[in-house]
A and B are shown apart, each in its own frame.
Chain A
Amino acid sequence: MPKTMLDIKKIRKDFPILNIKVNGKPLIYLDNAATSQKPRQVIGAMADFYQNYNSNIHRSIHKLGEEATLAYEKSHKKVADFINADFEEIVFTRGTTESINLLAYSLTQELNQGDEIIITQMEHHSNFVPWQQLAKKRNLKLKFIEIDGEGKLKLEQFSELLNKKTKIVSITHASNVLGTINPVEKIAKIVKEKSNAYFIVDGAQSVPHMPVDVKKMGCDFLAFSGHKMLGPTGIGVLYGKKELLERMQPFLYGGEMIKEVTFKDTKFNELPWKFEAGTMNIAEAIGLAAAVDYLGKIGMENVMRHGKELTNYCLRRLNEIKEVEIYGPKERSALVAFNVRNVHAHDTATILDGEGIAVRAGHHCAMPLHSVLGIPASARASFYLYNQKEEIDSLAEAIHKVIKVFK
């Protein structure tokens, strides 16, 4: 495997938070799948907005309003380029959760009783609960693609689930627990061959970590969150094919999403504004654009390669510890979920925290998946471009401490 191209020491200088101490120890931040840290370029872009051109957008006919509007629209364009989409195809939301809810509410309006929706056993609650609840309300049938012993989707079973009644297929690109990277291009082909269903991809864990090209992927919609890719919280993205977004009903009604309102009726605004009702998170959109710039400069191929190296190294180190059980396949995105035998994940995480190591513990918003795995909870270490091998050595050392405390 080629050596990583990233200058990690230099990258780390861009992230002020990496200098803090936790419990007297240098912070080792391995909870990137929950949210990433932010470089000063992102923090700075948002501060610059508030200090120098804060204004509402699209409605203010003055210098500041114009500047803010331009910056906000440029953010759409940058995000569009980042995933090879067109400007009109990028709708800003509050995050993946809101993007998927938008789709769930809007798309199920055109479905009929008995129509079918397919998701998988490994979905995050945000790509699970909206479909489950709307299926109940509208008498739709929700079906699940199962996972095999390794944590990969059973594609033969998927082909059996799919039929003419299938109207929506919504699948995560990368699992936030198993790390499994699902073959979305292949799934897109199967969906299109065998049904007329919309194909939705949850990109929350993939867009931050690998090059994503929506045209190549062949999805109809893609949802992801800014805060997991160096951007701020409160801003996320819904990509949708233009012709589909044009046909869809808006999800939120109100200011700015309209073209003309009379006492009788309303003409909706053009794309993408039709889906952006009310005053949006302007500073956050500008922050997200700075994050995309940052990632673009480093190159997503490099980000992916570095994540792979760290993940493989982590798998190797944790596999050396016989008390550690690891979940998910060998080939995976930049995270490792595990348990120390006979120790609850929360206890593991608390002891790691004492060493300055931040990992997530719990069900990671994937309770159905944990029930399939037959465990109540797991601990998860997840990596990003500023993490280094030494930090994984510290993780392994701290896990030995966990084992000692509970022996």
Chain B
Amino acid sequence: MMFKKIFIEERVLEHEVTRRIRNKYPQAATEIIENYSDWFGRVRKPYLEKRDNLFLYLATKQGELVKPAPDAYGTPGEPHYYFLHSYNCIYECEYCYLQGYFQSPDIVLFLNYDDIFAAIADTGKKHNGKVWFHAGEFSDSLALNHLTGELPRMLAFFRAHPQFQLELRTKSANIAALLREQPAENLFVSFSISPDKYTRTIDRKTAPLNARLRAAAQLAQTGYSIGFHCDPIIYSPDAKKNYHELALLIKEMIGINAVAYISLGALRFAEESYRAARANYPESIMFLDEFTRGSDGKIRYPRPLRQMLLKETESAFLEVGFQKEQLYYCMEV
């Protein structure tokens, strides 16, 4: 991966991460700017430019740093928030909703970690029990952690606040930094997975399924809490068989009891992302079935099809020995 240009906000010019990244990419042209938002997304940059014309912004995030997660986003019955530490992703999953979300695929890394942690602490104070904080709503939580070096500080903050549950959600196997850290019960690493035939075709540039599962196994052995997201589930007549095999793999490699939760979510798109995905990947195997507009405005499989798909996937996990309490439907209407 190579950034063609690096935009650096003046106030993070001397930041350790800025220095590290500039050393790592000495050939990249750099521009010093006042505020990333004057440039990032100001004009629409086509999504597929991320392949060979990717810019990086090193910036500070002002305004809202922690946001409530949408309904039915995480494990039911507990408050969920996500915090903003970066925008966009180096991977290229064909269904990624980011392709319709920002005006640009360029990567933004926010380096004002202390402000972000302060905002998390403030939000967490409003709740008595467990509160979830998800990293990676607008990016992959771990894909670039070797560049940012943000994990040690992030984990230290959450270790000091055991009532806050941190979820790092990833399709990478970039766990070296995690293995060097002290795990804790409130530190969850979750892997988004699909049957191998999908991870190989539509999760472009991500870690292969086996690498993700091996990473999960290593982290579980080290003491991290592990979650899985079977999301998006793509329809095929042999979906149940495929998820049965996937459930068996998880059972063998990680063990049923080491898995804190598994979310199940059928393929769906926000309208903008649907249009973008159809334009970016017109031949994708995702589009070999019919879609309709759900009552929430999202583009989904027709309801009978997605209900059938979710039930079949759920029963594939139950048959292998996972418990109903470990499974939940994500963003389903």
Say whether A associates with B: no
The chain B residues found within 8 Å of chain A, CB to CB, are none
A binding-site residues for B, Cβ under 8 Å: none
